Structure 1
Amino acid sequence: MTKNTKWGYLTNRAAVAIMSICVGLTGLQVQAQGTAIYAGKLFDSSSGKLLENRTVHIVDGRVESVQKGFAKRDREILVDLRDFTVLPGLMDMHSHLTYEFGPQAYMESYTWNPADFTLRGVDAARRTLLAGFTTVRNLGDQDNVTVSLRKAIDAGIVEGPRIYTAGKSIATTGGHADPTNGRRWDLMGNPGPVEGVINGPASAREAVRQRYKEGADLIKITATGGVLSVAKSGQNPQFMMDELEAIVATARDYGLTVAVHAHGKEGMIRAIRAGVDSIEHGTYMDDEVINLMRRNNTWFVPTLMAGEWVTEKSAIEGFLPDIVRPKAATIGPLMLGTFSRAYKRGVKIAFGTDTGVTRHGDNAREFVLMVQGGMAPADAIRSATWHAAQLLQVQDELGSISEGKMADIIAVAGNPLEDISELQRVQFVMKGGKIYKEPSQPAADIFVEPGEPG
């Protein structure tokens, strides 16, 4: 028996390395009876505290138990993360896996096929997973691409996070998610509920039912104008109360939650009163809106990275269309201040980035901005774990490293409660008990052969 001070006890190192190369980690896990993770520090997302010296036992993709001290069972594979901080897999509640904004983004609807967006989504999904985000809500796409991507990931065909998708966002004619905004007259047409554009309660109900038919997990609506759409207003209300009430009531019938893009105050007030689950962006949120959100237990998903990005790009001549640029310059700089006020007033906050506006894989930049806005690092991490699971209504399955939950686990080298930017340098990623990323060491340096003592 030899001793490697960083990774633990090793025997037959060469044999284990050869086995790892030949059959891979999956092969080793099949021969073993579960996995044990030694965590030097473990973030307890239920309390926001760091626990020391814990062993996480994983069987069939789920956490079987978490115990004090280091104690590997016979025939378990050991993942030795004693020098790391171990956390639940991170969850991004506002992403767009099939988009990644750039100067040519406005031409893609004319020049790209659904397959092009699909392939981008495959790449974005893998980058997102390797950045430590094991679950995302995808809030808007075209052609049901993320429904197919979700199925491919679940089947193990491609690598990516667990996806909860809204499919096509629902808008009103000319609204933020009307896909024909900015087109010339003969290309505008008259999109309807199938395309995600409604006018009146009847078509609102039809649009929700269409999303259900297509396999969406939730509903996304654009209750106000937006920044990047080719339309004049970034904040005007764009749904009437009867339309919003029809959407929420129909979504409830089908077991779907409702996420709401909203910048302007009046649009937020209408949506909250209609009973939606979350407000995304929330730029012009004031005390009246905050009080209403608290009374209705409405979640806030801030998307600070998007605000930072549009502010930067609005200063670049020609990067954004002329109709978009003033909206970006006005709305972007306000978002951090809104977040700070909402956090101090006790609004429920779940982590979301609007990635797709920004680069996929850079999602953890949001943590840095949240802390800059006054949020405690532990609360920022809880927003992407414990609270995100509550928003998704999957708290029995995800959001913490707890007995019976899915084994979605990440690790970083430092202490993110002292330096939140550590979450931008994730070293280890496990989703559903399968390892997708490990520290840059040979396999034999990290994994102890099944049956060897810890």
Structure 2
Amino acid sequence: MRILIPFRYLAFLLLLLTTCKSEQLEEYDLVLTAAEVIDLESGEINTRNVFISDGLIKRVLPVGSSVRYRTQNSIPANGKYLLPGFWDNHVHFRGGEALIEQNKAFLKLFLANGITTVRDAGGDLTTYIKQWQKEIANGMPGPKIFTSGPKIDGPGATWAGSLEVTEDEDIPVALDSLESLGVDFVKLYDSRISARHYLETLRQTEERELISSGHMPFSVSLQETVEAGIDAIEHLYYVMKGCSSTETRITQAVIDGNMGFWQAMPELQQTYTDSIAYQTFTMLREKQVYVVPTLHIGRTLSYLDEADHSEDPYLHYLSPEFLETYKRRISSFLSGTDQARKNRKELDDFFRQLTTELHNAGVGLLAGSDCGAYNSYIYPGPSLHDELQALVSCGLSELEALRTSAYNGAHFLKKQTEYGTVSPGKKADLVILSANPLDNIQNTRKIEAVVREGKIYLQEDLKTLLEPN
């Protein structure tokens, strides 16, 4: 027996089915379609749709996957290359009250250059950094800032704002202060701190399960520093010392006051010994100590007498007060002897070879520019790309150089569950490039768009960020 259903009921049933289907659509804030996603772990490139909501990557699916979704912001990325936003693993916000606004203006420059995260390695503007972090979280354009807060140093510290350790009891007070500030790691400096206090600060930092990085006073050995618990070594002077056959003698000479930091450089370079270097590299690798080579600033400062920076395009972003801070290093270098300038250039070449050896030995490297007040012509933003290029010139592949930025940076700060790859659950901090950076590291500069915690900045937005205040 046939059952006839009135037309009005059929229409109602069709409407009901359509409504149910529409309710099953997945909602996303942003979808990037047909992007060439670079896997920083494997080096593979796969065409993917990337689904983003609430500042997080929700799904990464092959093009053509049967997923029903709805979004008001779908961005075609056909033929474009997608990877984690870049990390500059060594920057400085500093310079005192007069440079607060100038430092804040740098936040836009980082973002416009595809840098979605910076690691602030100590300065005197911590109060303002904490405020900027809140403003960025509320929508102000800028990178994620991980900060050490004030550096720890000894009495009469070189840098303003440092926490000075003079007595044993100063160490827990300094660390308490940093923990109360909610810093992301502890930064030690080497200008005035005693050997004993330096090593004890590292030990207590390790006991509190805090991450540490820093310089190293030449009154201690590299092995002592590593055994005390340092997690990252900023710059290559200290690694070089640990590769010298005369490290013990030089350490004692420094303790006795018979030798200074720069006086030790020629001998350390000349007494570099392959067998000792091998032991040092093995120790760094096994203890998982990262090294931050800062090659670009080394070359820039080593050739201040030959390079003309008067037409640098980023000069017009800097205030007269900020440019004034550049004069200290420039004057110091240019007033040196011809031999001193020659030594500096030879040391720069040596450091590039040392970087090659560190990499070949499997030591983890972090890309950092060291941009900030007083560091002449190291511009916030483009200098990170210069550093990546310098690392490739030392023998790293493009993929290996890229890992030293976001991937290694996230692992160093123990943030790898949130950052470092284009994966579901990670922060939606991404950069879209018009050319493949695995073919040529200079392609990191060819930025089509930047995604910062789910908010996309297209080319016109990036141009606006680059407009001087």
Retained in 1: the 8 A contact 2:153–2:162?
no
Pick closer, same or farther for the CA change 1:32–1:123 going to 2, 3 Å.
farther
Identity %: 23
Shift of 1:81: 0.9
CA displacement 1:76-112 (0-9 Å, x = unmatched): 22111112111111112111144xxxxxxxxxx6xxx
Q: Does the aligned pair in 2 maintain the 1:212–1:254 contact within 8 Å?
A: no
Runs of 4+ in 1 over 6 A off after TM superposition: 439-442
AA of the residue aligned to 1:337: Q
Shift of 1:415: 0.9
**Cα gap change, 1:55/1:243 in structure 2, threshold over 3 Å: closer, same or farther?**
same
Q: 1:352 aligns with which of 368, 372, 380?
A: 368
Amino acid at match of 1:219: V
Three-state SS of the structure 2 residue aligned to 1:128 is helix
Question: Equivalent residue of 1:313, what SS?
Answer: coil
Instruction: Quote the Cα distance in structure 2 between the aligned partners of 1:204 and 1:337.
Output: 37
> Retained in 1: the 8 A contact 2:148–2:184?
yes
| Distance 1:74-1:128 versus aligned 2 partners, 3 A rule | same
Partners of 1:324 and 1:149 lie apart in 2 by 38
Q: Report SS of the residue matched to 1:152.
A: helix
Larger Rg: 2
What is the distance in 1 between the residues matched to 2:430 and 2:150?
A: 30
**Once the two structures are superposed, what CA deviation does each residue of 1:387-410 show, in whole Å capped at 9, x if it has no partner?**
211001001111111011111110
Structure 2 residue aligned with 1:321: 332
Give, in angstroms, the shift of residue 417 of structure 1: 0.8
TM-score of the superposed pair, with normalisation by structure 1:
0.74
Deviations 1:183-218, CA, capped at 9 Å, x for gaps: xxxxxxxxxxx8422134322332222222333221
CA contact (8 A) 1:300 1:350 kept: yes
Is the contact made by 1:299 and 1:391 (CA closer than 8 Å) also made in structure 2?
A: yes
Q: Secondary structure of the residue that 1:364 maps to in structure 2?
A: helix
- Partners of 1:429 and 1:410 in 2: CA distance: 5
State the 1:345 CA deviation: 1.0
Q: 1:220 aligns with which of 165, 170, 187?
A: 187
Asked if 1:166 corresponds to 2:166, the answer is: no
Determine if the alignment matches structure 1 residue 150 to structure 2 residue 104.
no
RMSD of aligned Cα (Å): 3.0
Q: Which moved more, 1:329-338 or 1:271-280?
A: 329-338
**2:86 paired with 1:90:** yes
- Structure holding more helix per residue: 2
Paired letter, 2:415: V
Alignment partner of 1:57 out of 20, 31, 51: 51
Q: 2:304, 2:334 within 8 Å by CA — same for their partners in 1?
A: no
Measured against aligned partners, the alpha-carbon deviations of 1:219-251 in whole angstroms (never above 9, x if no partner) come to 11124x5xxxxxxxxxxx9541x4234323433
Assess if the C-alpha contact under 8 Å between 2:165 and 2:193 holds in 1: no
Larger CA deviation: 374-383 vs 255-264: 255-264
Gap regions ≥5 residues in structure 2: 1-25, 244-276, 309-326, 464-469
Structure 1 gap ranges (5+): 1-30, 99-108, 181-193, 226-236, 443-454
TM-score (norm 2): 0.71
Counterpart secondary structure, 1:294: helix
* Residues 205 and 369 of structure 1: CA distance in aligned 2, closer, same or farther (over 3 Å): same
CA distance in structure 2 between the aligned counterparts of 1:255 and 1:316, rounded to whole angstroms: 44
Tell me how far 1:440 sits from its aligned partner: 8.4
Q: Larger RCO: Structure 1 or Structure 2 (Cα < 8 Å, ≥ 6 residues apart)? A: 1
Aligned: 1:276 with 2:258: no
Residue type of the partner of 2:49?
Answer: T
CA distance in 2, matches of 1:265, 1:394: 33
Superimposed CA distance per residue, residues 18-47 of structure 1 (whole angstroms, 9 cap, x where no aligned partner): xxxxxxxxxxxxx96332112441111222
Q: Report deviation, 1:56.
A: 0.7
Cα offset, 1:262, TM superposition: 4.3
- How far, CA to CA, are the matches of 1:79 and 1:411 in structure 2? 11
Q: Note if contact 1:239-1:267 (Cα within 8 Å) is conserved in structure 2.
A: no
Greater fraction strand: 1
Match of residue 453 from structure 2 = 432
**Paired positions, count:** 368
Q: Distance in 1 between matches of 2:178 and 2:459?
A: 37
Q: CA 1:342 to 1:265, structure 2 compared with 1: closer, same or farther past 3 Å? A: farther
Distance 1:138 1:354 in 2: 9
Matches within 5 A, 1:115-134: 116-134=98-116
